[in-house]
Chains A and B, each alone.
Chain A
């Protein structure tokens, strides 16, 4: 920085930045790896002047003044190049000479990430570490009172139902009358939620799909993955792996012509169709794939020109009421596969979710409801939507489940929960808590990115550049120079690790409850929390 620069309002010092690059000249070998790898060019080689005085008390002629020049790593302070804390520099540094540190409270940049009047947009998460799910304990440990189950030894039926289950009376009636019986899938309760081909890199997406196929075909785990809204590669549509896939349709309708063309050639029906009305990360806002990421491949799969930003409207066009939306969309999608495929909507968690659920209960074609809570992650959203919009998932799921109980349909229409599950690493505990609060299964996104591909994002506003295609791990980039850092095989391997270990952990939770033949959906008597208000709100036990 120039020493006699003038100050403009957005002139920041290192001290004002959210992430500060700590650098040790003693250890640095000036190899250039850190500056080469930095995704935002936050650091560069700096030339520094070093003035050394060698004073003498004898004569003026004896005063020594030496000017030296040395090099080191310099952090830039302008908003466009502010360090994002990804620590790729630390990763590549051969001498452990450099690492970013979170500014513990002097971050002034947040007041300036609106240059040219554009509010901050980012990918990632809500950056709020707290989670009510982490605080829920499983307090019913059924020693001697229930069958003593051993997670390591016993066999468990870890499956859930996706689809409309008719009441026994109605089912018998239709059987007798040879009427239509809704399709139901028996699936694993941990679902990889909708992340589009485009939001994710091709290597990441292929890795996830490969892992899912492996889990199904080699491990016997009926894991399903949702495509997100961005179409589906034609080869997958025409393969037997399609049965592991939940196809998503959303307001942008990207890639649906390819899907329609593929229907006559499908070897298998897809697992289900998810109609996205909202997502937890940015309720009331549509999807957005920024032009950086719309390359030839993405464009081909989505059926759009390359190099343009692809916004999805916040709402489905041509649908003006909940009745119409639900009826029209679900019916169309059911019809497309001859009523053989479950179709369900996904909405953002909201204080109005009950209205949607009540509507679905009156519609036989509705196979379930997926609800995405405020902690959901995303590839791109306005910060204000991500940080301040939405509803926590726990109470929303609970309200909906209790409502189903009220109308006696808790075993008929499954609710799936998403948003922040495992955000602090406690995947199985969070999932089990939601299941016991009433969810039939859970959807995860960020957790998979972190566990299966090493996403460096944290709840501390680290990295969060998924939206602009510079993901240093190649997870959300469409740039071959980045996504080729990721091997689909490795991702698949990690997906398998993740699901297999989740399975063990989930068993460790349900075994002491004495449950092995079915998931403890809604088994809220097993739950406790050390907060009176939360206990009351969730109708679970208050424990201290």
Chain B
């Protein structure tokens, strides 16, 4: 192609620069008129050589002399070849869509910015932000940029496709051929570099080795590039393969897989621990274990551990029983088919299992029963007690040779004598009365206890304790003799002296004990109208007996809310007895009881039932008394170390209180004899019944016989050996150990247990607890 083939288009007219818009029009007119070779003498006009699509597929050659302006060849067409005979201004080949451009000098900033096709050869160096935002549309060949010299800063930012070749010719040693911070945000394309690309974005790009195909492509391309730019003299210099490197974009996976920072594990080992010492920050202060522990841990790492607390707590029934009978143990025996043993066990605690447990006792054990928590009836102890009637007395053990005296053959005294005898001592019981049994025998109405039962139990007592001396006159001297003669003396003289009222006409009234005792022998007829002063349980007994004896209008009066409760009160109410309170007696007349209010309560019989006090005449010279009762410490010891006092002589109470005191006194006496320190048997804490689970029991069940009672007993604090825990444990960590004669136990394998507490949550008896593990 010679110079003459080109149409010359001057960029000036009449010495004035043609505006870019006009020059663009001229170029397009020439193309329209069929010209395909244009030489343009440019004076900085914008965008020369772009957008020449009017030529169709015909090649168009543009030669630019003079000063090419910005964006030469921008939006370039694939049919366009542009040759710039001097340097190029900014944004050469901007948004290039196919134009081939050769620059015989340097090019300034933004070469190929946003280009997607075409090829730019620069025979010098380029400015900043070359090859930025370039694309590669797979329908076309990728854009190419060839630079003989070096690239300016921020080369290849956000490069998404295309190939750049930077030859670095003429660069200084150590000079960064790709300028400062190249390839930031690069996501595609290739960059061949001859020289240093130091500082390129490691986050986005990576250096790869040239394959043979790469090299062949580069070698061929270089020859073409040098030919076009007229620098074939450099071919040998530039085609030294080891001098070239290739940079490509990292894939998203590569970016994700190799975070652009060293791993923390390495840092910890090589930097952190090296500076601080083994074990890191606190390795000098405590042993540190590397790694983490699982959230659900076993063994020592459990936060909580289960414990099987058999025999650590007493059941509420046992705790509530003044006599201290282990009720739940007895039901356990029933469940284990040891019914006889369960029944016989009663005699180890009381001489009156049938009379008291079976009939007379208000049963604090049942009142305390855990089953109440869910409105279920308590386990009835009555049957178990009554079954004790026919059990023969226990065999007394070998005699100790010690002699014990018990004054009073009421329930307290007989209990003391019973237990002292069972402990092997020789016991003598003294009583002023003609029968044994005290108030049980003499005062309590027959309606509340079958005569035969009482007889049988009293006979059993007599059989065990041969030396019971009745109708004894015990005055102060007699007491002193007894006290001296026996190793220990237990005063259980009861409260036999009725309390009286300081009102006129009191002599017209009869005292409750006298009334009840007479009633038993049927010697009296109280008449239709009876007024009872004192509305306690004894008053109720009087009411019931009076009714039995024909009274129909019965009134119990009291100065305060009636203290009567339970069976006694129920019976009285069933007899139609009325309760009046608060009322105050002014006097007792033949007509009845005159109240302070002025009202008269007509009565055929007036009974005073405001309680009894002990008769302490025989004691007073020897023992300290207080407010009408014998003074004792918590072990029932009186002021005389050889004398104990129990029952109503000490304080008013239930029959079972007196029986319990007799039992404990026998224990204390044994402690004294054996020279031990007198102390309470360490009481086990009472079971926390919220640990007991009652959902297992059918609330509709109303147990009546022994067997079903045993079944519904919640067995608070005493393992039922049901194995629910074994079944429930999600880790199979619980197992049962057979201890032969010693029974059994449940154990936990700490290596399996996760401390979930399911055993505690499921245990019907509350044996399992979950406690914090020992602090580490």
Q: What are 10 A-B pairs with beta-carbon distances under 8 A?
A: A30-B728, A30-B730, A30-B758, A32-B754, A47-B761, A209-B281, A218-B267, A235-B276, A480-B776, A485-B295
Question: A44 to B761, Cβ gap below 8 A?
Answer: yes
Contact A205-B281, Cβ < 8 Å, known A47-B762, A481-B293 = yes
Quick one: CB contact mask for A66-93 with B, threshold 8 Å, 1 for yes?
0101010010000000000000100110
Any B CB within 8 A of the CB of A4: yes
Q: Shortest distance in angstroms between B604's beta carbon and chain A's nearest beta carbon?
A: 45
Question: A91 to B295, Cβ gap below 8 A?
Answer: yes
Question: B289 to A3, Cβ gap below 8 A?
Answer: no
Given A35-B761, A92-B296, A233-B281, 14 more A-B residue pairs with CB atoms under 8 Å apart are A36-B754, A45-B760, A71-B761, A202-B281, A210-B267, A213-B267, A233-B282, A235-B276, A235-B280, A235-B281, A235-B282, A480-B776, A481-B302, A484-B293
Closest to B203 in A: A152
| A370-378, A393-401, A440-448, A489-497 - the one binding chain B | A489-497
**Contacting residues, chain B, for A153 (C-beta < 8 A):** 154, 157-158, 184-185
Any A CB within 8 A of the CB of B217: no
Q: Shortest distance in angstroms between A526's beta carbon and chain B's nearest beta carbon?
A: 26
The 8 Å CB contact of B268, one of A5, A37, A210, A480, is A210
The 8 Å CB contact of A218, one of B181, B262, B295, B690, is B262
**Contacting residues, chain A, for B295 (C-beta < 8 A):** 37, 88, 91-92, 485
Contact A300-B285, Cβ < 8 Å, known A4-B374, A88-B295, A236-B276 = yes
Quick one: CB contact mask for A421-449 with B, threshold 8 Å, 1 for yes?
00000000000000000000000000000
How many Å lie between the Cα of A224 and that of B722 in the bound state? 62
Contact A71-B755, Cβ < 8 Å, known A206-B280, A480-B776, A481-B293 = no
Contact A236-B728, Cβ < 8 Å, known A36-B755, A484-B289 = no
Closest to B375 in A: A4
Main secondary structure of the interface of B (DSSP, over half): loop
Any B CB within 8 A of the CB of A241: yes
Contact A485-B292, Cβ < 8 Å, known A213-B271, A480-B776 = yes
Residues of B252-309 contacting chain A, CB below 8 A = 261-262, 264-265, 267-268, 271-272, 275-277, 280-286, 288-289, 291-293, 295-297, 301-304
Any B CB within 8 A of the CB of A54: no
Contact A210-B373, Cβ < 8 Å, known A297-B282, A487-B292 = no
Question: B756 to A36, Cβ gap below 8 A?
Answer: yes
Q: Shortest distance in angstroms between B257's beta carbon and chain A's nearest beta carbon?
A: 16
Binding site for A on B (CB under 8 A): 154, 157-158, 181, 184-185, 261-262, 264-265, 267-268, 271-272, 275-277, 280-286, 288-289, 291-293, 295-297, 301-304, 372-375, 690, 693, 695-696, 698-700, 728-731, 754-758, 760-762, 764, 770, 773, 775-776
Question: A49 to B695, Cβ gap below 8 A?
Answer: yes
Question: B758 to A32, Cβ gap below 8 A?
Answer: yes
Any B CB within 8 A of the CB of A180: no
**Contacting residues, chain B, for A46 (C-beta < 8 A):** 761
The 8 Å CB contact of A481, one of B272, B281, B301, is B301
How many Å lie between the Cα of A202 and that of B262 in the bound state? 24
Any B CB within 8 A of the CB of A321: no
Q: Shortest distance in angstroms between A451's beta carbon and chain B's nearest beta carbon?
A: 15
Any B CB within 8 A of the CB of A247: no
Closest to B265 in A: A489
Q: Shortest distance in angstroms between B86's beta carbon and chain A's nearest beta carbon?
A: 30
How many Å lie between the Cα of A33 and that of B754 in the bound state? 8
**Contacting residues, chain A, for B296 (C-beta < 8 A):** 33, 36-37, 92
Contact A71-B728, Cβ < 8 Å, known A3-B374, A47-B693 = yes
How many Å lie between the Cα of A262 and that of B197 in the bound state? 47
Question: B271 to A217, Cβ gap below 8 A?
Answer: yes
- 10 pairs of A and B residues whose beta carbons are closest in the complex: A45-B761, A32-B756, A36-B756, A2-B373, A47-B695, A49-B695, A32-B730, A206-B281, A67-B698, A45-B758
Any B CB within 8 A of the CB of A240: yes
How many Å lie between the Cα of A296 and that of B700 in the bound state? 56
Question: A69 to B695, Cβ gap below 8 A?
Answer: yes
How many Å lie between the Cα of A301 and that of B268 in the bound state? 22
How many Å lie between the Cα of A5 and that of B754 in the bound state? 32
Interface size for A (C-beta < 8 A) is 65
Closest to B267 in A: A214
Contact A47-B267, Cβ < 8 Å, known A5-B373, A202-B281, A301-B285 = no
How many Å lie between the Cα of A2 and that of B691 in the bound state? 11
Any B CB within 8 A of the CB of A234: yes
Any B CB within 8 A of the CB of A387: no
Question: B268 to A489, Cβ gap below 8 A?
Answer: yes
Contact A479-B775, Cβ < 8 Å, known A71-B728, A496-B264 = yes
Closest to A36 in B: B756
Residues of A231-262 contacting chain B, CB below 8 A = 233-236, 239-241
Contact A481-B268, Cβ < 8 Å, known A235-B283, A297-B286 = no
**Contacting residues, chain A, for B292 (C-beta < 8 A):** 484-487, 490
How many Å lie between the Cα of A470 and that of B221 in the bound state? 70
How many Å lie between the Cα of A367 and that of B625 in the bound state? 83
**Contacting residues, chain A, for B262 (C-beta < 8 A):** 218
How many Å lie between the Cα of A480 and that of B301 in the bound state? 8
Quick one: CB contact mask for A15-32 with B, threshold 8 Å, 1 for yes?
000000000000000111
Any B CB within 8 A of the CB of A405: no
**Contacting residues, chain B, for A44 (C-beta < 8 A):** 757, 760-761
How many Å lie between the Cα of A487 and that of B294 in the bound state? 11
Residues of A37-60 contacting chain B, CB below 8 A = 37, 41, 44-49
How many Å lie between the Cα of A225 and that of B296 in the bound state? 33
Q: Shortest distance in angstroms between B74's beta carbon and chain A's nearest beta carbon?
A: 20
Question: B762 to A481, Cβ gap below 8 A?
Answer: no
Q: Shortest distance in angstroms between B515's beta carbon and chain A's nearest beta carbon?
A: 40
Question: B696 to A69, Cβ gap below 8 A?
Answer: yes
**Contacting residues, chain A, for B375 (C-beta < 8 A):** 3-4
How many Å lie between the Cα of A232 and that of B441 in the bound state? 82
How many Å lie between the Cα of A210 and that of B276 in the bound state? 11
Q: Shortest distance in angstroms between A206's beta carbon and chain B's nearest beta carbon?
A: 4
Question: A481 to B760, Cβ gap below 8 A?
Answer: no
Contact A3-B373, Cβ < 8 Å, known A71-B728, A153-B184 = yes
Closest to A473 in B: B295
Any B CB within 8 A of the CB of A65: yes
**Contacting residues, chain B, for A296 (C-beta < 8 A):** 286
Any B CB within 8 A of the CB of A219: yes
Any B CB within 8 A of the CB of A488: yes
How many Å lie between the Cα of A202 and that of B287 in the bound state? 12
**Contacting residues, chain B, for A92 (C-beta < 8 A):** 295-296
The 8 Å CB contact of A487, one of B277, B285, B291, is B291
How many Å lie between the Cα of A45 and that of B728 in the bound state? 10
Closest to B132 in A: A153
**Contacting residues, chain A, for B280 (C-beta < 8 A):** 206, 210, 235, 488
How many Å lie between the Cα of A153 and that of B773 in the bound state? 56
How many Å lie between the Cα of A5 and that of B262 in the bound state? 63
**Contacting residues, chain B, for A74 (C-beta < 8 A):** 761
How many Å lie between the Cα of A315 and that of B385 in the bound state? 71
Question: A45 to B756, Cβ gap below 8 A?
Answer: yes
**Contacting residues, chain A, for B764 (C-beta < 8 A):** 47
How many Å lie between the Cα of A202 and that of B285 in the bound state? 11
The 8 Å CB contact of B762, one of A41, A45, A295, is A45
The 8 Å CB contact of A65, one of B268, B374, B700, is B700
Q: Shortest distance in angstroms between A14's beta carbon and chain B's nearest beta carbon?
A: 17
Residue of A32, A236, A300, A482 with most partner-chain B CB within 10 A? A32
Closest to A493 in B: B264
Residues of A94-153 contacting chain B, CB below 8 A = 152-153
